Structure 1
Amino acid sequence: MKVLLYFEGEKMLEKSGIGRAFDHQKKALESAGIEYTTDAKSKDYDILHINTYGLNTRKMIQQAKRQEKKVVYHAHSNAEDFKNSFIGSNAVTPLYKKYIVSLYSLGDHLITPTLYAKRILQSYGIQKPIDVVSNGINLAQFKPDAKKEQEFRAYFNLAAEQKVIISVGLYFYRKGIVDFVEIARRFPQYTFIWFGHISLYSVPKEIRKIVQYDHPDNVIFPGYIKGDIIEGAYSNADLFFFPSYEETEGIVVLEALASSQNVLVRDIPVYEGWLQDKQNCYMGHDNAEFSQLLEGIVEEKLPDLSKNGWQTAQTKSIQHIGTELKNVYEMVLS
């Protein structure tokens, strides 16, 4: 069995969650001993595993069908998580939905990262078989490391006693960036850092203003940072606060859990089945609840749930995902 992993526009998307999911797929297949290639010109493969939605993607699928290859489509996106992102995204969401449904329907088998994402696709009327396989997490990469934590604090010139709250995501309204900044205004004694970047020309004016100047002094937007600094931030911060309104999974949440970090998220359906309020994370519904919970976690008035969160991350290891992908591939070929 040989798999062609196809990812159109890799350079443009490498900093996104889809980009990290693609990287995890390669590692997962290696761990499961599955031969694969990323060479789109390859003809020597059994399964085409699609990750993206561009014009060349449809051509790749049509070519595979002509060669009687099986097609597995990884449904990373849906209409719900397209809303409240780029300029004009809400206006074109109906067209986007129609477009991705037409693409997904070309696959022999679909994969989604959560049960919630599967239900959304089924609500679109897609009849193809759908399996739920997490995007997974590289546990070793996010294991707490004192050297990485020191680099993080030195990079931002943080005093030893300074309390820090972090989040990671693109500059999208749906990611909760407006709420993140609003909460920061309420706690000037803490430092809030939002990691991530996307061209400000692509987001609405309100978001552009927030990132450029309309935020309090205790908020930092350092852009996209990878490696030791962000990994040190995950484990060394006092809290990972992710007020996103819509996700298909949320790889950054997995990264925080794997870093033995306390996590505060919005109570939304995507976390059903793997995150539980006051068990392995904390959940809030609005900024009033977020404020109360955030202070309680940072000031250690609430129980530390990081160990339980870490245990949750263990169930979504790269090795585990490799086994699940292998099962899907074998099912498709049979």
Structure 2
Amino acid sequence: MKVLLYFEGKKVLAKSGIGRALEHQMEALSTVGIEYTLDPASTDYDILHINTYGPNSQRMIAKARRLGKKVIYHAHSTEEDFRNSFVGSNQLAPLFRNYLVRLYSKADCLITPTDYSKELLENYGLKMPIKVVSNGIKMKNYQPNSEKEQKFRQYFDLKPGEKVIICVGLYFKRKGIYDFVEIARQMPEYKFIWFGYVPLYSIPKEIRKIVKTNHPSNVLFPGYIKGDIIQGAYSAADLFFFPSYEETEGIVVLEALASKQNVLVRDIPVYKEWLESGKNCFMEVDNKSFKRKIKQIVGNQAPDVTRNGYQTAKKRSIESIGKELLAVYQSVLNYSSDLATSEN
């Protein structure tokens, strides 16, 4: 078996969750011995596993069909998580949904990261098999490490004992950036750091203002940072606070859980099957309750759920994801073989 992993616009999407999903797929396939290529000119593959939505992605599907290859579409995106993101996204959202349905309909099988996103896709009227496979997490990268933690604290010149709350995400309203900044404004005794970046011209004016000037002094927007500093931040911070309103999974949540960090998220449907407030994370619904819970967690007045959170992330390790992808690939190829046998 050989798989062509296709990812259009790597430079644009490298800093997003979709970009990390491709890295995870590559490593996951290696762990189970599946040969793969990233070369779009390749023809000696069995399955096209496609991750993106642009015109080149459409051409890749057409080429795969001409070659008689099977096609798996990784459904990272939905109409719901397209809303409240880029300039004009809400106006374009219904058209984006129709576009996604046309693309996804060209696949033999869809992969999506959660039961929640699977339910959304089924509600779009898509009839092909839809398999749930987490985007996964590189557990080894997020083990607490004192050297990485020190690099993080030095990078931001944090004082001994200074309490730090972090978030990782693009500058989207959907991600809860308004709430993050407003809560920070009401809690000046803590430092709030929002990691992540998207070109400012691509987001609404109000959010550009927040990022550039309209935020309190205890909020930092350092942009996209990778490697030791962000990995150290995950474990050295006092809390990972992710007030997103809509996700198909949330790789950054897995990264925080893998770091044995306290995690506070908004109580939204995507977490229903795998997160439980007070067991492996904390969940709240509005800024008032977020503020109350932040004080409890940072003040060590909340139960320690980090060990359970770590185990939740471990179930979605790259090694586990490799086995699940292998099963999906085999099912697609076996279905094709069984169908040919029945026709004969």
The aligned counterpart of 2:245 is 245
Say whether 1:26 aligns with 2:20.
no
Say whether 1:115 aligns with 2:125.
no
The aligned counterpart of 1:14 is 14
Secondary structure at 1:232's aligned position in 2? helix
How far residue 217 of structure 1 moved from its aligned partner, in angstroms, is 0.4
How far residue 304 of structure 1 moved from its aligned partner, in angstroms, is 1.5
Distance in 1 separating the partners of 2:58 and 2:197 = 28
The aligned counterpart of 2:137 is 137
Distance in 2 separating the partners of 1:26 and 1:104 = 22
Structure 1: 5+ residue stretches without partners: none
Q: Which amino acid aligns with 2:244?
A: S
Distance in 2 separating the partners of 1:269 and 1:160 = 38
Superposition pairs of residues 285-300 of structure 1, within 5 angstroms: 285-300=285-300
The aligned counterpart of 2:56 is 56
Distance in 1 separating the partners of 2:271 and 2:322 = 22
The aligned counterpart of 1:207 is 207
Q: Which amino acid aligns with 2:167?
A: S
Distance in 2 separating the partners of 1:184 and 1:29 = 41
Distance in 2 separating the partners of 1:154 and 1:188 = 21
Deviations, residues 44-81 of structure 1 (Å, cap 9, x unaligned): 10000000000011110011011110000000000000
TM-score (norm 2): 0.97
How far residue 331 of structure 1 moved from its aligned partner, in angstroms, is 0.4
Say whether 1:68 aligns with 2:62.
no
The aligned counterpart of 1:43 is 43
Taking only aligned residues, the RMSD between alpha carbons, in angstroms, comes to: 0.4
Secondary structure at 1:45's aligned position in 2? coil
How far residue 160 of structure 1 moved from its aligned partner, in angstroms, is 1.4
Superposition pairs of residues 217-232 of structure 1, within 5 angstroms: 217-232=217-232
Superposition pairs of residues 67-216 of structure 1, within 5 angstroms: 67-216=67-216
The aligned counterpart of 2:313 is 313
How far residue 305 of structure 1 moved from its aligned partner, in angstroms, is 1.1
Distance in 1 separating the partners of 2:258 and 2:31 = 19
How far residue 11 of structure 1 moved from its aligned partner, in angstroms, is 1.0
The aligned counterpart of 2:4 is 4
Secondary structure at 2:36's aligned position in 1? strand
TM-score (norm 1): 1.00
Distance in 2 separating the partners of 1:72 and 1:32 = 18
Deviations, residues 171-215 of structure 1 (Å, cap 9, x unaligned): 000000000001101110100000000011111111011000110
Q: Which amino acid aligns with 1:233?
A: A
How far residue 234 of structure 1 moved from its aligned partner, in angstroms, is 0.1
Q: Which amino acid aligns with 1:145?
A: N
Deviations, residues 138-192 of structure 1 (Å, cap 9, x unaligned): 0000011000000000000001110000000000000000000011011101000
Distance in 2 separating the partners of 1:286 and 1:111 = 32
Distance in 1 separating the partners of 2:247 and 2:116 = 9
Distance in 2 separating the partners of 1:161 and 1:51 = 43
The aligned counterpart of 1:268 is 268
Deviations, residues 72-118 of structure 1 (Å, cap 9, x unaligned): 00000000000000000000111100001000000000000000000
Secondary structure at 1:91's aligned position in 2? helix
Distance in 2 separating the partners of 1:327 and 1:198 = 35
Q: Which amino acid aligns with 2:271?
A: Y
How far residue 327 of structure 1 moved from its aligned partner, in angstroms, is 0.2
Q: Which amino acid aligns with 1:185?
A: R
Q: Which amino acid aligns with 1:183?
A: I
Distance in 2 separating the partners of 1:227 and 1:111 = 28
Q: Which amino acid aligns with 1:285?
A: V
Structure 2: 5+ residue stretches without partners: 335-344
Aligned length: 334
Distance in 1 separating the partners of 2:304 and 2:298 = 10
Distance in 2 separating the partners of 1:12 and 1:26 = 19
How far residue 221 of structure 1 moved from its aligned partner, in angstroms, is 0.3
Runs of 4+ in 1 over 4 A off after TM superposition: none
Secondary structure at 2:49's aligned position in 1? strand
